[in-house]
A and B are shown apart, each in its own frame.
Chain A
Amino acid sequence: EPEVTQTPSHQVTQMGQEVILRCVPISNHLYFYWYRQILGQKVEFLVSFYNNEISEKSEIFDDQFSVERPDGSNFTLKIRSTKLEDSAMYFCASSEGRYAKARGYTFGSGTRLTVV
């Protein structure tokens, strides 16, 4: 079964540093998403991306966050200047269509980001 691949699986970074989280969505999917889960809490939506632009973003997704699809396969989340409260598990997801009919959304295994 096709998978969404995320790298790295774990990342530790110093506060104030920039990090880039990488994702390879399923090849025929058109919609891409980033979600975040702070330890012990529920999963929260960050941003959705379609046709090379952001289609929706949450209040969490402020100016320090950006997303990019630099080539035909990768989808990245950049955090410009990390804060302690950015420590979380970050999930990438993709879907065939906006409302993900038939199969729903497929999530990657996540990147656990720790800011020290």
Chain B
Amino acid sequence: GIQVEQSPPDLILQEGANSTLRCNFSDSVNNLQWFHQNPWGQLINLFYIPSGTKQNGRLSATTVATERYSLLYISSSQTTDSGVYFCALSLYNQGGKLIFGQGTELSVKP
């Protein structure tokens, strides 16, 4: 089956720092999303980004589908950015189900 690998698994930042989270995948995808799981367990949809670049405030994401990776950039991090960031994708030949990576656990210190 498809491999979805996220790196790094853990990240500790000082407030105000920038970071880049990476998602590598092993097959062609028709959907890729980044989610933030907050400390209460809620999954917040950050980006729908099967290809190209999008920006939303301090967050931006880039997916290079031909090279099978996606990047999530967090600039000027805040303590509220803490939580787990998941990359999730679906494949052309496997219906619409999302396959999640293991996540990157981010902790932003004041």
Interface residues of A (CB under 8 A from B): 31, 33, 35, 37, 42-45, 48, 55-56, 58, 89, 91, 93, 95, 97-107, 109-110, 112
CA distance in complex: A89, B100 (Å): 15
- The one of A56, A104, A110 in contact with B41, judged by C-beta atoms closer than 8 angstroms, is A110
Minimum CB–CB distance from B8 to chain A (whole Å) comes to 15
**Contact between A100 and B31 (Cβ–Cβ < 8 Å)?**
yes
The SS class assigned to the B binding surface is strand
Chain B contact residue count (CB 8 A cutoff): 21
Q: Which residue of B lies closest to A33 (CB)?
A: B97
**Contact between B45 and A56 (Cβ–Cβ < 8 Å)?**
no
Chain B residues with CB below 8 A from A37, complex form: 41
CA distance in complex: A37, B48 (Å): 21
**Contact between A110 and B42 (Cβ–Cβ < 8 Å)?**
yes
- The one of B31, B101, B103 in contact with A99, judged by C-beta atoms closer than 8 angstroms, is B31
Total A-B contacts with CB atoms under 8 angstroms apart: 64
With A99-B30, A103-B48 known as contacts, the answer to whether A109 contacts B42 (CB < 8 A) is yes
CA distance in complex: A55, B96 (Å): 10
Chain B residues with CB below 8 A from A45, complex form: 97-99
CA distance in complex: A42, B90 (Å): 15
- Whether a CB of chain A sits under 8 angstroms from the CB of B35 is yes
Chain B residues with CB below 8 A from A100, complex form: 31, 48, 90, 96
**Contact between A56 and B97 (Cβ–Cβ < 8 Å)?**
yes
Chain B residues with CB below 8 A from A93, complex form: 98
